[in-house]
Amino acid sequence: MVAAFLCSAVFLACYLWYHFHVGSVRFQKTGFIRTVYFTVLLTHTCLAVVVLPIILRTFFLAVKERFEEHRRWARWAFPIWLYVSATGVAVYWMLYRL
């Protein structure tokens, strides 16, 4: 779990660095796929912001060996993090490969 946390932290740092230097990339497609893209992007972005403090709290509780509290937080953190991870790949695919 520490490795997963560190990989996610490195990815977030690289993502933020990239977008700080490159800026935003406009979605060029039209029609129904545009609605799908922005719906997925909106939920991805909102949940990514929400999950970060939850993940930090969950990680802190594990480090402090407060495992009962850790499990309660992880029940929320894991599915949200999983959704954010999957939709991040979907957003990338729709933006750069579709």
pLDDT in tens, 10-43: 999 999 999 999 988 999 999 999 999 999 999 9
- What's the maximum distance between 2 C-alpha atoms anywhere in the chain? 50
Model confidence, pTM: 0.88
Amino acid at 87: T
DSSP letter at 95 equals I
State how far the Cα of 71 lies from the Cα of 88, in Å rounded to an integer. 25
Looking at residue 77, its pLDDT comes to 96
Give the integer Cα–Cα distance in Å for 86 and 91.
Answer: 9
pLDDT top residue among 25 and 87: 87
Report the alpha-carbon distance of residue 31 to residue 34 in Å, rounded.
Answer: 6
Q: Please state, for a pLDDT cut of 90, what percent of the chain lies above it.
A: 94
> Does the structure show a pLDDT above 90 at 71?
yes
**What residues does each domain of the chain span?**
28-97
Label residue 1 by pLDDT band (50, 70, 90): confident
